[in-house]
Chains A and B, each alone.
Chain A
Amino acid sequence: MQEAVAKVSKSAKRRPFQFNSAILLGIPYIAFMVIFGIVPMILAIIFSFSKYGNYQPEYFAAGLSNYIAILTDPQLLISFGNILKFGAIMLPVSFIGALAIALILDLADDRFGGFMRTVYFIPGAITLPAVALIAIFMFDPGISPFGFLLKLTGAKIAGDILNNKTLIYFMVLLRFFASSGGWIAVFYGALTGINREVIEAGMIDGCNPWQMAYYIKRPLIMGYALFMLINLTIQSLQLFAEPFIIQTSLRTGSPIDPYWSPNMWSAFLTIRTGDFGKSAVISLIMLLISLVAAVFIVTRTGMFKTDVVRN
């Protein structure tokens, strides 16, 4: 087998460039990627060097002034500080939480599993304004089903609970509520892909279901788990929905100002002042940081490696 493979690759090297018809599989994707991915990104970079604020933009007229303005603005550190606090708690909670629940669900193959997976998934399926509506009620001690818990803290109105100290925890709660279900369902799909023989081998070796979950199943779905980790990092960096929900749902004072997270600040610049240049700068900074994190995860874990022999 090895020699056969080696022979194939050697002969391939000697051949001149050959058109692999399989590229057809990717052409539609590449086309859409160019139009809706690459061009917008290039334009965003162009905008970051352009001057806005005077009815029509002047491309390339700003030089580095947008970059300087954003990098020297104290708001930058404040906003990034906020999401750092959020991410520091959200990442471990969501990562371990979703993975653990998925594995625990899969410990036994029973009827409850499907029902519970559906229940966990539904919150993620609700549209944003509806989540805001739910949030208004869940946080009001007078009418929330969890009201008795909230009243234990002495709160009378929603604003009492959501103060500066508890804010981050509630946002993590909201995020966990809304997005774990989707990941649990994805992990279920992944777990069903595990070869039955592997499971049975584990059983014969004397693993109990818990050991099986931890030592056998977990590593086999690590590909998906790392993908989730990247996504959680992105979500943390691009945090918008949760602060937005809290700001919308609290009528009497919310601890969130319009530029609380970098994404909110960027949206503020886009929506209020029309300064697309500065907003592009913020987005590119976020992209850079996400990229560093993703590269770290990808290269350290070999996510991109396949054993497919290259030409």
Chain B
Amino acid sequence: MFKKSVFSVLNALIILTFVLSACSSPAAPQEGGAAPADANAPIEVWIDAAREESAGKFVDAYPDKGKLVSLTTTDYGQLPQKILFWNNVGSGWPDASFGGPQIVPLINDAAHDYLGDLAPYVDPNIVKDFAPGSLQNCWDGTKLYCLRNDLAHFVLWYNATKANELGIEIPETYEDLQATCASLKQSNPEIQCALGQQDVSFFNILVSNQCPFQQIIGAGELRINATHENCIKAAQWLDQMSQDGYYKLTDMFGTDASDIVKSDNWLFIPSSSWFGDYVIKGTYYDAADPNFEGKIGVAPMPKWEGQEHPWVFWWGGAAWVMSRHTQNPQLTADFLTYMTTDVIKEQGTYPAYMPAADEWLKSRMPTLTYLEDTTKAGEVLKSEAGHMWTMATEGPVDIGAIFGPILTKINAGELNYEAALAEWQAALVDGAGKLGYTPVTTGLDDFPSQ
């Protein structure tokens, strides 16, 4: 009895301590506002292993500022989740962090309340020089919440040697692509006209025709309109192409795709800008193989008839964010600017900052001997970087995860892409609700074109 009461008293005391300390955390800054600035305060930045070396160069370049920067190598993917824990105890946030492409939509809500405005601390001329559309999801009104690290825009990779051999012209519109594939099927049925990664290719097709399947349009409101006529037209095209066997949508990292590519019976792979360097070379083809030299061509993605230029999706594209709890925002912003505009040109993927991208192309393209025409490839990468339709397709809902069960049905033959749109719409609306957003399910015309 005595022991029991001792324990219950202990329990009560412990709980009381927690509740009181949590309710009145003295260290926690006010809701919403930024911490007072101190130009000599040290900062902590979360990075991943791949960026350790280049981040270290900041210290070399700016020794005075550099010694205030401490780097933590960790799993940056955990940042959104950890922020929620830190909010509960009132401390622990890093001043800045590397993040995945969706980082801002993921944490730009009241529960996280983490993002700090970079706009006052970054030179507007620098901000101007990021690829058009790449900072679309960094801006929230007049607040700049992230700086884009790199881009992974879609381009059309193609089998140049095969195309030359068969005398095929690279199509400029989706309608032309369909026609090309149709005639190819007649003349060379063994060749797979187009191949693509299953869910990403679908998203790309939708984006190309400006389908508004997710857009944050205000505090807590999410436009989800996956059954808009733009979406239906694109899905119908995809259904036609995949039914006729012209466009094979599969797992590009499995044996199904690699067998086709290795047998050289393929023509087009619409995929991201990094696909060539990291999948075509490496998974499908051996870099040392002499036959691989000059094999691959790069062209802009097709557009729809009537469009001025193509719109493309992107498969990647990291970003850097700053915390509003930071006590040295200028230093933090300087560090992020350095990472995205200076050392980025040495990284492995296409930089979002255009001047750095130019240098990246100049130094990197000539080394890629597997390309048929490196100059042309560079030009394509550059021009397509400005054609990403990021406005209405990036948001807090994980479109891939939500689309997963629907894709399973498509693979089982229960649905086609057009019919899938309605189900996907319902699932997206449900997903938005679970995240606390209010779905708006109409319209495209009430926002200006990018």
Contact = CB atoms under 8 A, between A and B. Distances in A.
Chain A at the B interface: SS class: loop
B401 A247 contact: yes
Contact of A39 (B14, B83, B197, B401): B14
Interface in B133-161: none
Interface in A211-249: 247
Interface in B69-95: 80-81, 83-84, 87-88, 90
Contacts of A256: 404-405
A157 B250 contact: yes
B410 interface: yes
A52 interface: yes
Given A34-B11, A162-B408, A255-B405, A274 B87 contact: yes
Contacts of A42: 11, 15
Interface string A285-298: 00000000000000
Nearest to A246: B404
Interface in A239-281: 247, 250-259, 268, 270-276
A155 to B, nearest CB: 10
Given A159-B251, A273-B435, A274-B112, A257 B401 contact: yes
Interface string B97-118: 0000000001001111100000
Interface in A134-165: 140-143, 156-160, 162-164
B368 interface: no
Contact of B251 (A158, A259, A272): A158
Interface stretch (A54-62, A95-103, A175-183): A54-62
B436 to A, nearest CB: 6
B87 A55 contact: yes
Interface in B218-271: 250-251, 253-256, 259
Contacts of B23: 59
A75 to B, nearest CB: 7
A156 B256 contact: yes
Interface residues of A, number: 48
Contacts of A30: 7
Interface in B385-409: 398, 401-409
A165 B259 CA distance: 28
Contacts of A257: 401-402, 404-405, 427
A250 B405 CA distance: 11
Contacts of B409: 163-164
B28 A258 contact: no
Nearest to A254: B404
A140 B256 CA distance: 9
Interface string B34-45: 000000000000
Interface in B3-21: 3, 7, 10-11, 14-15, 18-19
A256 B412 CA distance: 15
Contacts of A125: none
B326 to A, nearest CB: 16
Contacts of B88: 56-57, 276
B256 A157 contact: yes
Nearest to B110: A54
Contact of B28 (A56, A140, A250, A268): A56
Nearest to B2: A17
B91 to A, nearest CB: 12
B31 interface: yes
Nearest to A143: B255
B22 interface: yes
B411 interface: yes
Contacts of B81: 270-272
A255 B18 CA distance: 41
Contacts of A140: 254-255
A273 B431 CA distance: 12
Nearest to B20: A59
Contacts of A53: 110-111, 436
B198 interface: yes
Interface in A51-75: 52-57, 59, 75
A160 B111 contact: no
Given A39-B14, A252-B407, A271 B80 contact: yes
Contacts of A253: 198-199, 403-408, 410-411
B111 A255 contact: no
A270 B255 CA distance: 37
Contacts of B410: 253
A251 B251 contact: yes
Contacts of A251: 197-198, 251, 253-254
A206 B65 CA distance: 87
A163 B408 contact: yes
Nearest to B106: A272
Nearest to B14: A39
A141 B401 CA distance: 23
Point out which of A54, A55, A159, A160 has the most chain B C-beta atoms below 10 A from its C-beta. Answer: A55
B93 to A, nearest CB: 12
Point out which of B253, B403, B411 has the most chain A C-beta atoms below 10 A from its C-beta. Answer: B411
Contacts of B197: 251-252
Contacts of A271: 80-81, 84
23 contacts: A17-B1, A34-B7, A34-B10, A39-B15, A42-B11, A53-B110, A55-B32, A55-B111, A56-B22, A158-B251, A159-B251, A251-B251, A252-B197, A252-B251, A252-B411, A253-B405, A257-B401, A257-B402, A257-B427, A258-B402, A258-B431, A271-B81, A273-B109
The 5 closest A-B pairs by CB, nearest first: A142-B255, A253-B407, A274-B84, A252-B198, A55-B113
Given A39-B11, A54-B110, 16 more contacts: A30-B7, A42-B11, A43-B15, A54-B111, A55-B31, A55-B113, A56-B87, A140-B254, A157-B251, A157-B254, A160-B411, A160-B412, A162-B408, A251-B251, A256-B404, A257-B401
Interface of B: 1, 3, 7, 10-11, 14-15, 18-19, 22-23, 25, 28, 31-32, 80-81, 83-84, 87-88, 90, 106, 109-113, 197-199, 250-251, 253-256, 259, 398, 401-412, 427, 431, 434-436
